[in-house]
Structure 1
Amino acid sequence: MLVFLKENLVFLSVPKTGTTAYMEALAPHADMVVANPPELKHSPVFRYNRWFRPMFAKICNAEPELLAVVREPVSWLGSWYKYRQRPFLDGKATSTKGVSFDEFVRDYCRGAQPAHANVGSQAKFLEPQTNGCKVSHLFRYDQLEKLDAFLTGRLGVQIDTRRSNVSPTLDVQLSPEVEQMFRRKKPEEFALYDGIG
């Protein structure tokens, strides 16, 4: 998470949306960089609302706007699947070694997700709160040039990101049947992404 108080902006770090590269590029310009632990780096709206928002309101007399990146849901799960193929997870319950991408997505759609498919939800991460705390600026992962233009205008800096925290290269193809099931079981994920102008 990146905080720009003068520019009245907080960049939330949705997992698997390329935000680590933005953190590295923009850290020198931020008033606050929350890089660790992961639970704080990847603070969803509800956690931001509970802990960070009151702090900024009381100490800084500020109510920053929230910004986030959203990835197409199948691609987002594909990135998680590939990330969990990494050797450091071998033998752990969160590893996807020996699991097909179709199986992974089926498991993600289950009520009780096994550990390897328990990766959260972009829709839940960005869910508006009852007190009005919500993301004001949403950008698509496949249209980062729009995010770059917004940040350049808002922060007054040129954006120069380098790929960071990249998952292994794997060909992940989802069968049409499993994609239909995913769309049926998790419509909120697709509604969030499709609703970004």
Structure 2
Amino acid sequence: MLVFSKARLVFLSVPKTGTSAFEAALGPQAAMIISDPPELKHAPVFRYNRFFRPMLEKFVSEKMDVLAVMREPINWLGSWYRYRQRDAVQGQENATHGVTFDEFVLAYMKGNRPAFAEVGSQAKFLETQKNGTGVTHLFRYEDQPGLIAFLEERLQTNITLPNINVSPAAPLTLSSNVEMRFRRKFAGEFQLYDSIEACGRYKPLPNAR
């Protein structure tokens, strides 16, 4: 999470959406960088609302805008799948070595997910809270030019992103049957992603699942 007090902007770090590169590029300009532990670095809207928002509202005179990035849902799972094929995690319970992408997505759809498929939910991460706290600018991960242009204008800076945290290459073949089941069961994820328009405009979906 990055906090830019002068620009009145909080950049939430949705996992697997490239925010580590923005943290590296924009860290020197941020008033606050939350990079550890992961539970705080990747604080979702509900945790931001509970712990960070009250503090910021107390010391920053104006309301903060909240920025986040969302990845196309299947592509997002694919990034997790590849990330957990790193040599560093081989043999651990959350590794995906020896698991096909079909098997990974099927495991993700279970009520009681195995450790290797427990990766959370983008829609849940971005869920607007009962007091109205939510993301005000939501960009598609695939719209890097739009996101960079927004940040350059808002922060009055030029941005050059480093190439970090790149997942290992792995085939991401998803059968049509599994994809259909995933799209049906997690329709809220696709609905939220599809609602994102140019320039980070979108229709907030309270209680998205």
The Cα shift of 1:6 comes to 0.7
| Distance apart, 1:171 and its partner CA | 2.0
Tell which deviates more after alignment, 46-55 or 162-171: 162-171
SS at match of 2:137: strand
- 1:148 and 2:142 equivalent? no
| Partner Cα distance (2:153, 2:59) in 1 | 27
Note the residue ranges of structure 1 that are not aligned, 5 or more in a row: none
Q: What is residue 103 of structure 1 aligned with on the other side?
A: 103
> What's the CA shift for 1:93?
1.1
Q: Which residue of 1 is the match for residue 36 of structure 2?
A: 36
Measure how far apart 1:59 and its partner are.
2.9
Q: Which runs of 5+ in 2 are unaligned?
A: 198-209
The C-alpha deviation readout for 1:33-87, integer Å capped at 9, x for no partner, is 1111111110000000000001111233342110001000011000000001112
CA displacement at 1:162 relative to structure 2: 1.4
Paired residues, number: 197
Partner of 2:85: 85
Q: Hey, what's the Cα distance between the residues in 2 that align with 1:46 and 1:72? A: 22
Question: Where do residues 54-65 of structure 1 align in structure 2 (5 Å cutoff)?
Answer: 54-65=54-65
Q: CA deviation at 1:23?
A: 0.5
3-state DSSP class of the match of 2:190? Answer: helix
- What is the alpha-carbon distance in structure 2 between the residues aligned to residue 125 and residue 80 of structure 1? 15
Give distance in 1, aligned partners of 2:130 and 2:193.
Answer: 21
> Secondary structure of the residue that 2:138 maps to in structure 1?
strand
The range that moved more, 53-62 or 28-37, is 53-62
Alpha-carbon contact 1:10-1:65 (below 8 Å) kept: yes
What is the Cα deviation at residue 142 of structure 1? 0.8
Residue type of the alignment partner of 1:85:
Q
Tell which deviates more after alignment, 59-68 or 88-97. Answer: 59-68
Distance 2:62 2:20 in 1: 25
- What one-letter code is carried by the residue in structure 2 that aligns with 1:47? R
C-alpha deviations, 1:135-161, integer Å up to 9, x for none?
000101111100011011100001110
Conserved 8 A contact 1:53-1:63: no
- The residue type paired with residue 164 of structure 1 is I
Residue of structure 1 equivalent to 2:135: 135
8 Å contact from structure 1 (residues 105, 117) kept in 2: yes
Divergent runs of 4+, >4 A: none
The equivalent residue for 2:47 is 47
**Which residue identity is paired with 1:108?**
Y
Match of 1:184 in 2: 184
Amino acid in the other structure paired with 1:122: Q
Match of residue 124 from structure 1: 124
TM-score with structure 2 length normalisation?
Answer: 0.92
Match of 1:9 in 2: 9
- One-letter amino acid of the counterpart of residue 71, structure 1: R
For 1:170, the equivalent position in structure 2 comes to: 170
